[in-house]
Amino acid sequence: MISEAKKKDLEKQGYRIVGNHSAIKLCLWCKKAIRNEDTCYKNTFYGIKSHRCIQMTPSLQTCSHRCYFCWRDIDWTKAKWEGPVDSPEEIVDGCIREHIKYIQGFKGTMDTTDAKKFKEALEPLHFAISLSGEPCSYPELPKLIDEIKRRKMTAFLVTNGTIPDMIKKLAKKHEPTQLYITLPAPDEKTYKKVCSPMIRDGWLRIMESLASLKDFECNTVIRLTLVKGINMFNPAGYAAIIKKYQPVYVEAKAYVWVGHSRERLGIESMPQHQEIKSFAEDLSELSDYKIVNEKKESRVLLLKR
């Protein structure tokens, strides 16, 4: 599914390809955690060990959105799955193998590396299924989550919500440890402008996926990725959707000016933490959710009902 030229391009960016359609990339926060410098907001909010986390995707190229703020190469994205389907076992084995191979480089900088955390990092405990593409497009996602959990690891799944049938398959029988659904806009008109969907009924599909949150026993999250001048307005619109579908948590997070998004947006589009905090305070006043935590370095606040 991935050409040799594209593989080389992705590897230059830090990706490591797994099989036909999966990949890992060592997260900045994983690197910082191994060096004992800082940890990801998921550590602050949910206790995830950043140095033992694999950031990965089972669907590197497939996504129904071409979001304006996406840091990936959206011109390369395909709306529908094409090609072979690797098994969950192959993907998990490959991701662990490539992740461990990647972090071997820390052996050359042991003067700035926490030796204990480096050793622990060689035995991952967490899969963040969020790197690129839309993971719900991977046909064997329920089995992938089952395989991760069978190996006593946690799985945080981040989805754009445009494949509600897959979301429904996960509820009860194949639940991740935590389910994120991105809410990219406060209304359908803004959604179409921001996400450039390659499907006609994307907004309705997202609402259908959000309606399934009530069927999950795991922690559920509505995530807002907020971009100044693009979708960071109308907190009442966001609040109305949040109140209707009642996730356990809401994350209000700033867009970060990195990757290919810099070709479409200027640095002024990236909100400061205080701006995100003000927006989260507005959300809190308009809903029954309260701000319970924040991570200034990641420009993100956590709200809970």
Write out pLDDT tens, residues 136-161: 999 999 999 999 999 999 999 999 99
In 3D space, the residue among 89, 102, 105 whose CA is nearest the CA of residue 25 turns out to be: 102
pLDDT (0 to 100) of residue 76? 77
Cα-flanking dihedrals φ and ψ of residue 129, to 5°?
A: -90, 80
Structure confidence at residue 3 (pLDDT) = 80
Which pLDDT score is estimated for 111?
85
Boundaries of every domain in the chain: 4-223+234-239
DSSP string, 275-299: HHHHHHHHHHHHSS-EEEEEEGGGT
Mean of pLDDT values over 215-228: 97
| 4-223+234-239 homologous superfamily | Aldolase class I (3.20.20.70)
Q: Is the pLDDT of residue 244 over 90?
A: yes
What pLDDT is stored for residue 164 in this prediction?
97
Q: Which one, of 18, 25, 30, lies nearest residue 58 by Cα?
A: 18
Kindly indicate the confidence band of residue 2, based on its pLDDT and cuts at 50, 70 and 90.
Answer: confident
**Strand spans (E) along 82-218:** 126-129, 154-159, 178-182
pLDDT per position as a tens digit, 113-128:
999 999 999 999 999 9
Per-residue pLDDT tens over the stretch 57-86: 999 989 999 988 887 777 778 888 988 999
For residue 218, the model assigns a pLDDT of: 97
| Residue 219 pLDDT grade (very low, low, confident, very high; cuts 50, 70, 90) | very high
**pLDDT value, residue 210:** 98
Per 3-state DSSP, the chain is made up of helix, strand and coil in percentages (nearest 5) of 45, 20, 40
What is residue 64's predicted lDDT score, i.e. its pLDDT? 93
Beta-bridge mates of residue 295: 300
Check residues 16 and 109 and name the one with the higher pLDDT: 16
Q: What is the pLDDT of residue 263?
A: 86
- Give dist(CA 62, CA 42) in Å, integer: 25
* Average pLDDT for the chain: 94
- Closest residue by Cα to residue 118 from 50, 48, 57, 56: 50
Cβ atoms 54, 96 nearer than 8 A: yes
Work out the pLDDT band at 188, boundaries 50, 70, 90: very high
> Which pair of tokens denotes residue 301?
């606040």
Q: Is the pLDDT of residue 270 over 90?
A: yes
Query: What global pTM score does this model have?
Result: 0.94
Q: How far apart are CA 280 and CA 294, in angstroms?
A: 10
* Contact criterion met (CB below 8 Å) for 228 and 193: no
